[in-house]
């Protein structure tokens, strides 16, 4: 499957030669298992926090409230401590992603992934063996550090090793693993909820499996040529590039990376550079993609699906089963994204999804508004309609904002600000995931069905953002974005126009030595 990636730049069109080798695909599959850890965690907390044994042990007040028949439907799980259990992980991930950006730059993407799996494993042990709330929360924090490291290193790794024409697809393997992780977690919860009284320990303990897979797998994979070259290992970088591209003729691509890395060397403080005017387009887009991704309301559904389905009247088993159905839709539709993203492009997927998500969120809002009162449960037929609408919502998220939230920030920054810029993406994702995790159950308690209209309003905003401010990055080589994307965009070009020549160092913080 030989092929060329065409690349235009100031000195005319360039062609990067390369095959889609077995090795590159293998490395992609292994690295993507970092997404399994993240996904498993997203999926497991909702189920665990609706298990009676778990609630009785750590959150006795919620347990009592849950079983009081008179309790308001929308409020029975509203408890800051319970929400902190879910959300503490994301705060830790937020902070650690900045540290991870440094290890990514200085020690490489591969080592950062290994560190991720180790932090995560220690967290798993503490969680599964938890005797009190403190142990539980400290475990969650370590899991969070692991996720911060993995989510920083994996998408960058995937975008850097990928041949340009399958970059989207390869990168989305990360998100595919996230969705598989969520699904496995839902299935695990379905079974462990019947193992009394320690099923929740099994649920939390099995999170160790993806971490072990990532650790062992990372021993087999390569470092990215970009990271080797960035760290002055030029020969190794060249050899690795030949290996992953399956050809000796990698000179053009190699030179391009060396060129990018020379500029990167001159940047003494990447974090400061990322704040400069010339990085504004990528930075704003990286952050907004995360804000919007989270304000679709996806995690309100992912974390709390079993709780949500219980709220509308399914019993414990029924609610987990509905979560499993929803999880399967999520996985399948991520595959759709892998197939389409490099053909149709990023923008069209995002826009189509906005329409579908808007309709489904608004419809869920209307149904709950009409039929869901404070203390009743929904009639079975109506509840099934809600599940169908949730699946419609999840499917469109899965082929758009889910994967592209990670893909776009990983492919738009130039090398000199890539790890720092991506750290802003990861940390914003974690920050807004935290906000949703912490606030959703309370918001639902106060806003009732209105919460779904709240998310629908955000969807309108994000569609406008895509139409006016998000350029298409399909098929543009990663180190050619400046010339071919930013300098041509009607709005963003004013920020980068003055970066005439990337060799010129006037706009970068130059090392003094
Ligand atoms: C998001 C997660 C979300 C998942 C759902 C990811 O892209 O970052 O927050 O839970 O998609 O599939």
Which domains does the chain show, CATH number per domain? 22-221+267-501 (1.20.1250.20)
Q: What per-residue confidence (pLDDT) applies to 444?
A: 81
Q: Average pLDDT, stretch 366-393?
A: 86
Per-residue pLDDT of 23-82, as tens digits, reads: 999 999 999 999 999 999 988 987 898 889 999 999 998 888 777 755 676 776 677 778
Q: Average pLDDT, stretch 445-468?
A: 94
> What's CA 135's distance to the chain center, in Å?
26
- Which residue's alpha carbon is at the smallest distance from atom 10 of ligand 1? 299
Confidence band (pLDDT; 50, 70, 90) for 180? very high
Q: What per-residue confidence (pLDDT) applies to 71?
A: 61
Q: What per-residue confidence (pLDDT) applies to 382?
A: 86
Q: Average pLDDT, stretch 307-327?
A: 79
Q: Average pLDDT, stretch 284-294?
A: 97
Atom of ligand 1 nearest to the CA of 290: 8
- Look up the pTM and report it: 0.90
Residues in Cβ contact with 159 at an 8 Å cutoff, skipping those fewer than 6 apart? 167, 170, 171, 407, 410, 411, 478
d(CA 227, CA 215): 19
Q: Tell me which of 37, 154, 175 to substitute to probe ligand 1's pocket, judged by most ligand atoms within 8 Å of the beta carbon.
A: 175
pLDDT over threshold 90, residue 175? yes
Q: Tell me which of 90, 174, 293, 436 to substitute to probe ligand 1's pocket, judged by most ligand atoms within 8 Å of the beta carbon.
A: 293
Evaluate: CB of 404 within 6 angstroms of ligand 1: no
Q: Average pLDDT, stretch 194-216?
A: 96
Selection from 139, 225, 186 nearest residue 43 by Cα: 186
Evaluate: CB of 395 within 6 angstroms of ligand 1: no
d(CA 463, CA 182): 26
Q: How far is the CA of 433 from the centre of ligand 1 (A)?
A: 9
Selection from 140, 124, 128 nearest residue 208 by Cα: 124
Q: Tell me which of 46, 147, 299 to substitute to probe ligand 1's pocket, judged by most ligand atoms within 8 Å of the beta carbon.
A: 299
Evaluate: CB of 405 within 6 angstroms of ligand 1: yes
Evaluate: CB of 208 within 6 angstroms of ligand 1: no
> What's CA 208's distance to the chain center, in Å?
19
Q: Which residue has the higher pLDDT, 352 or 440?
A: 352
CB 152 within 8 A of CB 423: yes
Across 1-15, 17-31, 400-414, 444-458, the highest mean pLDDT is recorded for 400-414
- Which residue's alpha carbon is at the smallest distance from atom 3 of ligand 1? 299
Q: What per-residue confidence (pLDDT) applies to 327?
A: 92
Q: How far is the CA of 367 from the centre of ligand 1 (A)?
A: 25
- Which residue's alpha carbon is at the smallest distance from atom 6 of ligand 1? 402
Reduced to 3 states, what is the DSSP secondary structure of residue 473? coil
Reduced to 3 states, what is the DSSP secondary structure of residue 232? coil
Q: What per-residue confidence (pLDDT) applies to 345?
A: 97
DSSP single-letter state for residue 222: P
Q: How many alpha carbons lie under 13 Å from residue 188 in its C-beta half-sphere?
A: 26
């Amino acid at each position: 499957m030989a092929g060329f990636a065409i690349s235009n730049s100031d000195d005319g069109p360039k062609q990067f030669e390369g095959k889609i080798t077995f090795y590159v695909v293998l490395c992609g599959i292994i690295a993507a298992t970092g997404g399994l850890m993240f996904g498993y965690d997203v999926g497991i907390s909702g189920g665990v926090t609706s298990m009676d044994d778990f609630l009785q042990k750590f959150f006795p007040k919620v347990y009592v409230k849950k079983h009081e028949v008179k309790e308001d439907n929308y409020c029975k799980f509203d408890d800051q401590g319970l929400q902190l259990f879910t959300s503490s992980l994301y705060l830790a991930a937020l902070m650690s992603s900045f540290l991870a950006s440094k290890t990514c730059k200085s020690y490489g993407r591969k080592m950062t992934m290994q560190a991720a799996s180790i932090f995560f494993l220690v967290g798993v042990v503490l969680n599964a063996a938890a005797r009190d709330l403190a142990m539980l929360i400290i475990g969650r924090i370590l899991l969070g550090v692991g996720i911060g490291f993995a989510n920083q290193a994996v998408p960058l790794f995937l975008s850097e090793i990928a041949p340009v024409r399958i970059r989207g697809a390869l990168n989305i393997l990360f998100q595919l693993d996230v969705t598989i992780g969520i699904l496995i977690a839902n299935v695990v919860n379905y079974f462990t909820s019947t193992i009394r009284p320690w099923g929740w320990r099994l649920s939390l303990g099995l999170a160790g499996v993806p971490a072990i897979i990532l650790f062992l797998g990372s021993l087999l994979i390569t470092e990215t040529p970009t990271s080797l070259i960035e760290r002055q290992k030029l020969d190794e970088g060249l050899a690795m590039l030949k290996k992953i591209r399956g050809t000796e003729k990698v000179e053009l691509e190699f030179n391009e990376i060396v060129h990018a890395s020379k500029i990167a060397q001159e940047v003494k403080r990447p974090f400061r550079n990322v704040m400069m005017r010339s990085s504004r387009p990528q930075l704003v887009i990286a952050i907004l993609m995360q804000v919007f991704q989270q304000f679709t309301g996806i995690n309100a559904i992912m974390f709390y699906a079993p709780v949500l389905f219980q709220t509308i009247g399914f019993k414990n088993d029924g609610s987990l089963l509905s979560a499993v159905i929803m999880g399967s839709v999520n996985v399948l539709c991520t595959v759709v994204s892998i197939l389409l993203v490099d053909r149709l492009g990023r923008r069209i997927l995002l826009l189509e999804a906005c329409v579908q998500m808007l309709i489904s969120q608004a419809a869920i809002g209307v149904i709950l508004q009409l039929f869901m009162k404070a203390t009743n449960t929904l009639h079975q037929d109506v509840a099934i309609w809600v599940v169908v609408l949730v699946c419609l919502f999840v499917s469109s998220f899965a082929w758009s904002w889910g994967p592209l939230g990670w893909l776009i920030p990983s492919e738009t920054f130039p090398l000199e600000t890539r790890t720092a810029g991506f750290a802003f993406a990861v940390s914003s994702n974690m920050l807004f995931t935290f906000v949703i995790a912490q606030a959703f159950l309370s918001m639902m308690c106060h806003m009732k069905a209105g919460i779904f209209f709240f998310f629908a309003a955000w969807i309108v905003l994000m569609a406008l953002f895509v139409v006016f401010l998000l350029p298409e990055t399909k098929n543009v080589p990663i180190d050619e974005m400046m010339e071919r994307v930013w300098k041509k965009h009607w709005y963003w070009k004013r920020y980068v126009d003055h970066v005439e020549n990337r060799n010129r160092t006037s706009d970068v913080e130059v090392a003094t030595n």
